[in-house]
Amino acid sequence: MLRAGAAGAVRTLVGGPPRRALKLVARGTAHSPGGPSSSKHPLERQSSMEGLEVQQNPPELVPQAEAAWQWFNGMGAPKFWVAPMVDQSELAFRQLCRRHGATGAYTPMLHARLFLETPAYRAEHFTTDTQDRPLLAQFCANDPDTLLAAARLVEGYVDGVDLNLGCPQRIAKRGKYGAFLMDDLPLVERMVRTLVGGLSVPVTVKIRRFPCVKRTVEYALMLERAGASLLAIHGRTREQKRASEVRAEWEHIRAVKQALRIPVLGNGNIRTLADCHALMDATGVDGVMSAESLLADPALFSARRLQPGGEFGHLDGCHLLLEYCDLLDLHPTPWRMVKGHAFQLLGPWLTEFTDLRERLNKSHDGWDGEKLRELTLEVLERIEATGRTHPVPAISARQLARMEAEAARQRAIEEQAREEQGLAALQGGNGEGCGDGCAAVAAAEAQPKHGLQQPVEQPSAGEEQRQAALAGA
């Protein structure tokens, strides 16, 4: 039976470390974020401010703080979180990550209005079971009442409801949600307060930083006053969409952690388990989350990654994908989601075995876990036959980049079209769903339904939203 409470007994520790007003003194005056090639630790680069006086919210303005720590510690004080990733943090993948060290997870980002009004969207995008805990359901929205109504549909199946305030992609700008709500903070506060007042589970938020530390901290303090019980912060701004182009600023994460009375998670510059510990040590956060790096190595959080010989090896992608195929037998998953994971885990070797890359690229909804298992075993056999631990690409890096960019562009176009089609159908329908003629709903309803069998709809959430998640939205 699905349940709403957190797993495990509530521990006696109900508060974080002692808090006090703090002063952050920067080492310099210029903002120097550094690029992917920077060798400096994120806290060793120059700060965006010469100095910053940070006052915590008075205790009486954060009445949820003690309960927030009870809730967090009652879940086992989870440190290693699977980030919300559109079309990629679905149940089967969450369970794979949990088998290998993840101690908490988010659902994919859910569009509140589509989730509320179109049953096929819910059936496809929200699935869970009793082993899938702790779990936070993340929504994007710009209307407090719609957000609350959607969240009420899942509150009995999750440990908390999260508001996405970090999606930096164009689709979020057009829809006025995610990081673009940073331009309307009164609306953000209303949405959080509405959730807090109307739900039986804690409310959490995931944000991106502002360019300056002071404004980032003020933003976080406002969300805490609004009633948030946990805050996750990404160390990049909404303009910094690609992790490969600019490093996240841990300075902002540290300042937010020191200012808040509720649990804080950090996100950004996570490539290995050692990076996770470095982020926690440098900022004091209570946990970390990963997106893109987990897609490449779902066992990133496993303790064996820190042991001699336990690093990600040349056959690990195949073995993890085979394990994922086993989970697909338990948790049927739309093929486009499965296909994305296959490319992530086999990708490097598919640059050499281009015939297998083409076969996977042309795969369709008729494929299943068994067909993917057969392809993965063939990749594994070919790798072993080479006697090498690295691929020898048959296509140039430039050509591969062009192919991947075009594929990403096409997926973004398709996802934008799906969202617009779903919303247009709602506006023109009878108020009970997408109505007749909604191809998006028809496609979603054709998918196998599993997990929560309540109202639900629309398909996918393609590359543009997916890239937001991969950037740590």
**Around Cβ 238, how many Cβ atoms within 10 Å?**
25
Find the catalytic residue in 167, 318, 325, 438.
Answer: 167
DSSP letter at 449 equals P
Question: H/E/C letters for each residue in 96-145?
Answer: HHHHCCCCEEECCCEEHHHHHHCHHHHHHHCCCCCCCCCEEEEEECCCHH
What are the residues whose beta carbons fall under 8 Å from the beta carbon of 72, sequence distance 6 or more?
78, 229, 230, 263, 286
User: What is the end-to-end Cα distance of the chain in Å, rounded?
Assistant: 32
Q: How far apart are CA 440 and CA 462, in angstroms?
A: 13
Partners of 265 in beta bridges: 232, 287
For residues 189 and 343, give the distance between their C-alpha atoms in angstroms, rounded to a whole number.
Answer: 39
CB 81 within 8 A of CB 287: yes
> Catalytic: 167?
yes
Note the residue count of the chain: 473
Six token digits for residue 445: 């309803």
Rounded to the nearest 5 percent, the helix, strand and coil shares of the chain are 45, 10, 45
Contact 192, 223 (CB under 8 A): yes
| Nearest alpha-carbon partner for 467 in 124, 230, 166, 97 | 166
Q: How far apart are CA 447 and CA 422, in angstroms?
A: 16
CA–CA dist 411, 468 (Å, integer): 13
- C-alpha 190/C-alpha 315 separation (Å) is 49
Query: Catalytic site residues?
Result: 167
